[in-house]
Chain A
Amino acid sequence: MTRFVVRRLFSMVLVLFAISVLTFLIFQVIPNGDPAQRMAGRLSTPETVAAIRRTWGFDDPLWQQYLTTMKKIFTGEVISYTQQVNVLDQIWQNLPATLSLAIGAGIIWFVMGVLFGVLSALRAGRFTDRALTVAALVGVSTPVFLLGAVALYFLAFKVQLFPNGGYVPLTQDPLDWLYHMILPWLVLSVLFIGIYSRVLRSNLLDAMSEDYVRTARAKGISERRVLLRHVLRNSLIPIVALWSLDFAAVIGGGAILTESVFNLQGVGQYAAESIAQLDVPPVMVVVMLGAFFVVILSAITDVLFALLDPRIRLSG
């Protein structure tokens, strides 16, 4: 078991390292992307540009620049190029909005996804199942920014039921926070509900042909009880694993589109705006943060599953 954990941790660190190098390199190869030139502005003298280069260390060899950036990230001193403010402070400010989005939407999409998945499997092949399948496919076929924009148009502009985007901190006014978050939660959840309900449905139907299900049936337990008590428990494991990864990705700024459409000023929106300005440090930090959450949570789930199920440990 210890070996499994150590190996998992080691590969986690490796992936994180590679991601940081990759992000750094992508922005280094951009032509016309000289940050010193952009910082100095259009009407700058070559001397100013050279001076900026020297102070920011843009003349150093690449590996040294990489090390400096990483050191700054870990000591919390990393500064953005365009606004020249501390990136970690900035992310710290944006994190509450992203967390609010992730937690609320995460609960909604898990509960609804499981509910629809079970309902679909219970009524497999019948009208309810077909209707839910069509709804799920429409859900996964609609881009979230389109859904968000349409929802805002009808529910915030035509009928003024919800506010037109924006974020209100929970600590400032809990009711207003809820009022602002409901629409983003629902819109972000639609896609995931579609995915989860379909994955759970096919997992459930797959498991119905297992031996332990036959045993349970042979004992005379009702079909509904077999599904809910015996099959659902096992089929939920991959759903929980999936959920933890998706949840981590949303916390790490993965819900860029939702955050942008509703102007939530979250971490993802910050990253998107920084990319547009070719501002490397914030992008580096957000990408690493996102990858960090994803990698950590997937490692935790792997280890937890290995604890629960010895078969995984042996084959892993």
Chain B
Amino acid sequence: MATVDSTVRVGAPAAPGADATAGLSPYRLGLRRLRRNKAALAFGALFLLIVVLCLCAPLYADHVAQTTPNANHVTDTVVVDGVRTDVVSPTGQPIGPTWQGRFLLGADQNGRDIAVRLLYGGRNSLEVGFLATLLTMTLATIVGIVAGYFRGFVDGVLARVLDLIWAYPVVLLGIALGTALALGGITIGPLHLQGNSLLVPAFIIGIVYIPYVAKPIRGQVLRLREQEFVDAARVGGAGPLRIMWSEILPNVSSTIVVFVPLMVANAILLEAALSYLGAGVQPPNPSWGTMISDGIRLIPSAMHMTFVPGAMLVLAVLGINVFGDGVRDALDPRARVRLEEHAQEASR
């Protein structure tokens, strides 16, 4: 067990040239640890590459594939290796990957270009993932801090609401809300969401995951509020809002950072699951989930329709998962945040 790690060296006087860890902020230390984790960085780069590719979707569609994600080419033909071929054969068989500009990765049963839809669908999947994560993290942080700080009645009420969402089967809650909202949209104050808006799945996924983040934050705040620096701030005349904002929040920030990549991964997976069941992104809007679900019905004859978006989805989620794992190891070496315990079950 006698490994040479940094903790061994901490007490000793820093020799000139040795990397002194004393006096560095936790984030600096974390960044240093993350930089050493080559696998996490490589997978993070993979995810970033996918994000950039998806952002370039309009460029690819205009200049290479010369079509749009929803354009229908059922009756068109395309020249492959000098042979003119139907995009969709008279028997309904879509063309497979052509490995050239048009229909690079084949077409679907409506004669739409899979590669173009893959990039546009990726934009939608990622957008839902990021928006849902933003919503979850914001609300969960507020709820967690408020419940943990005030305790008592406020905590009781908030904890019961969290329990309620927690006990509700995630996918069932998702489809119930998704089906309900896809039909009529929703009006929150001045904001009205159309049923086919991307914000609907993002909203649902964002709500569903709140307890998984709020509970650990609350637990941490319960311990933090008893610490001396909070007492000191109170004695100094700071009100509850000020204490929560400038004393508590900075101390839970590393937990929040650790959760972000893992939540993005889970949100993308849940979007795919909801879309597969028809309660996520609404057709003809593409997303990786809707593309897979279109493809699964035709899997024996046109497996590229499933495998292409499926591979992209797995690569993106794997990339962010491995990266997130590295971030956690770097910022939270004692592994206080255990997201796996519940949140990933959405993709059952």
A52 contacts partner chain B, Cβ-Cβ < 8 Å? no
> A141, B265: Cβ atoms under 8 Å?
yes
Number of A-B contacts (CB under 8 A): 164
Provided the pairs A195-B341, A242-B341, A257-B276 are in contact, do residues A138 and B314 lie with their beta carbons within 8 angstroms?
Answer: yes
> B168, A137: Cβ atoms under 8 Å?
no
> B167, A188: Cβ atoms under 8 Å?
no
B26 contacts partner chain A, Cβ-Cβ < 8 Å? no
Closest B residue to A295 by CB, please name it.
B167
B172 to chain A, nearest CB (A): 5
> A290, B314: Cβ atoms under 8 Å?
no
The CA-CA distance from A276 to B347 in the complex, in Å, is 19
Binds B, one of A10-18, A40-48, A62-70, A72-80: A10-18
A266 contacts partner chain B, Cβ-Cβ < 8 Å? no
Q: Which of A18, A138, A149 contacts B306 (CB 8 A)?
A: A149
A272 contacts partner chain B, Cβ-Cβ < 8 Å? yes
Binds A, one of B107-115, B144-152, B176-184: B176-184
> B344, A143: Cβ atoms under 8 Å?
no
A157 contacts partner chain B, Cβ-Cβ < 8 Å? yes
Taking CB atoms, residues of chain B closer than 8 Å to A290 are 169, 172
B residues 254-283 in Cβ contact with A at 8 Å: 265, 269, 272-273, 276-279
> A202, B338: Cβ atoms under 8 Å?
yes
> A19, B164: Cβ atoms under 8 Å?
yes
B93 to chain A, nearest CB (A): 16
Q: Which of B160, B171, B279, B318 contacts A137 (CB 8 A)?
A: B318
A residues 27-48 in Cβ contact with B at 8 Å: 27, 29-33
A276 to chain B, nearest CB (A): 6
A150 contacts partner chain B, Cβ-Cβ < 8 Å? yes
B208 contacts partner chain A, Cβ-Cβ < 8 Å? no
Taking CB atoms, residues of chain A closer than 8 Å to B175 are 256, 272, 275
> B177, A26: Cβ atoms under 8 Å?
yes
A88 to chain B, nearest CB (A): 18
B322 contacts partner chain A, Cβ-Cβ < 8 Å? yes
Binds B, one of A174-182, A244-252, A300-308: A244-252
B24 contacts partner chain A, Cβ-Cβ < 8 Å? no
The CA-CA distance from A32 to B345 in the complex, in Å, is 32
Q: Which of A26, A143, A238 contacts B176 (CB 8 A)?
A: A26
A177 to chain B, nearest CB (A): 22
B131 to chain A, nearest CB (A): 20
B313 contacts partner chain A, Cβ-Cβ < 8 Å? yes
Q: 7 more A-B contacts (CB under 8 A) besides A195-B344, A250-B348? A: A15-B167, A19-B164, A146-B306, A249-B169, A254-B172, A258-B348, A291-B169
A sample of 10 inter-chain contacts (CB < 8 A) reads A15-B160, A141-B314, A153-B300, A188-B348, A195-B344, A238-B341, A254-B345, A275-B176, A291-B169, A295-B167
